[in-house]
Structure 1
C-alpha cells in the first residue's frame, strides 16, 4: 500500500468513526477529501451517500449512490443506497425496484429484505391515503353542509334553505368542495415530495461567473504570453539585438 492509498484509507476510517458518532458533516468532509485522492473508489461514494442522506441532502446522496452504481454495477450496496434515498423522498415504487436489484446481487440479505418490507408498507399506506383522503374531505364537507342547514333553520328568523332540494344541493356542493380540496392537498404533497431530489438553489451564481471569467482571462493571458525556456529566451534576445 503506497502513501496515497494509506491516506485514503485513513480518511475513510476517520469518516466511518464520525458516522458512528453521528457527526455526519464531518464524515462527509473526510470522505470528500478521500475521493479527491481516489476518485474511482466506489465505497467512498457509498459512504458519503449515507452521510448526505443523514444530513437530508437528498440530491447529493442520490448523486453519490448513482456514482457508486456506475463505478461498481455488480455491488449491491450501490442500489441499496439508491433505494434508501428514494425511500426517504417518498418514492416508494422506485425504492422497491432499487431494493429488488440489490437483492438480486445479494440474495437473502436481511438488511435488504427489511428495507423492502418498509418500502412495501409505505407504498400501501401511501396509495391508501390517495384513495381515502379525498373521500374523507367529502365526508367533512357533508358534515359542514348539514351544520350550515341546521344553523340556517335554528338561528335565523326566516330560513333561506326551506326546500329539501336546496338543502341537499348545498350539502352536496360543500361535500364536492371538500373532496376537491383534499384531492388538491394530496397533489400538493406529491409535488413537494418530487422537489426533495431537486438540486439546491445556487445562491451565488454571479460569483461563479466572475470566477469563470477570471479563469478565462488568465488562460488568455497565458496564451498571449507563452513561457519560454532559458535557451529559447536567449535566442529570442539575440534575434532582437540583431
Structure 2
C-alpha cells in the first residue's frame, strides 16, 4: 500500500527508471507495476508500453506483451521499438512467419541495428526448420505405420500355421499407414492451436459474477418500476374512492 502511495507521488520518468531497475534485477512483476503507474500518468508515452511489453514477455504473459507492443506501434508507427517488441512476442510463441514480418518492419526503420538483424536471421532460420518439420511429421507418422504393418506381416508369417492372404495384409498395412498420417496431421493442427492459444486473451474469471450483478440490477430496476406503477395506481384508486365517499 505504501509502495502504491509512493508511486502516485513520482513522475512518469522516475517510475520508468524504477521499472528499468526492476527489470535489471529480474523483478519483472514489480517492473510491470511501475510501468503501469507511469502509463496512468502519461498514457501516450510509447516507451512505457514498449518497456512493459518486454517485462510481460519475460513473465510469459504473451497476450499482454503483444497488446503493449501493438499499442507502442499505434503511438509511434514510424519507430522500430513496437515492431521489434511484436516480433519478440511472435517469435516466443512460435509464430515465426509473423515474427519475420515484424522484424523486417523494425529493420526498415533501423537498418543498421545488429540486434534487429540477428533477430530477423534467427526467426527466418526457425521458420524454415519449423515448416520442414511440420511437412515431415505426417509422412514420418505414415512411415511408422508402414513399419508396423510390415512387422505384423512378419509376425503373421512366422507364428501362424496358416498365413493371412497377402492382399489382406497389404490392405491392413495401408490402413495403418493412413491412420499414422492422419495422426501426424492432427498433431500439427493441435500444435498450431496451442501456439495460437498463447496470444489469446485470458479467460475472464469474474464474468459470471458480473453477469449475476447485472441481472440483479435489472431485476431491482424492474421491481422499482413495478412498485412505482402500483403506487400510482393505488393513489388514483384512493383518490376516486375518496371522491365517491
| TM-score, reference length from structure 2 | 0.80
Structure 1 residues 21 and 211: alpha-carbon distance in aligned structure 2, compared to 1, 3 A threshold = farther
One of 39, 42, 63 as aligned partner of 1:38:
42
Find the aligned partners of 1:145 and 1:13 in 2 and give their Cα distance: 64
Q: Does 1:199 align with 2:192?
A: no
1:187 matched residue in structure 2: 189
Q: CA RMSD in A?
A: 2.2
Cα-to-partner distance string for 1:206-230 (whole Å, 9 max, x where unaligned): 344567799999xxxxxxxxxxxxx
Alignment partner of 2:133: what SS?
Answer: helix
1:235 matched residue in structure 2: none
Structure 1 residues 78 and 211: alpha-carbon distance in aligned structure 2, compared to 1, 3 A threshold = farther
1:67 matched residue in structure 2: 71
Once the 2 structures are TM-superposed, how far is the Cα of residue 5 of structure 1 from its aligned partner?
A: 10
Once the 2 structures are TM-superposed, how far is the Cα of residue 194 of structure 1 from its aligned partner?
A: 1.1
1:55 matched residue in structure 2: 59
Find the aligned partners of 1:149 and 1:71 in 2 and give their Cα distance: 66
Q: Does 1:166 align with 2:168?
A: yes
Give the gaps of 5 or more residues in structure 1. Answer: 218-242
2:238 matched residue in structure 1: none
2:109 matched residue in structure 1: 105
Once the 2 structures are TM-superposed, how far is the Cα of residue 172 of structure 1 from its aligned partner?
A: 1.6
Find the aligned partners of 2:159 and 2:77 in 1 and give their Cα distance: 71
Give the gaps of 5 or more residues in structure 2. Answer: 1-7, 221-245
Find the aligned partners of 1:129 and 1:108 in 2 and give their Cα distance: 32
1:143 matched residue in structure 2: 147
Once the 2 structures are TM-superposed, how far is the Cα of residue 156 of structure 1 from its aligned partner?
A: 2.9
Alignment partner of 2:78: what SS?
Answer: coil
Cα-to-partner distance string for 1:138-159 (whole Å, 9 max, x where unaligned): 1100110011111222233333
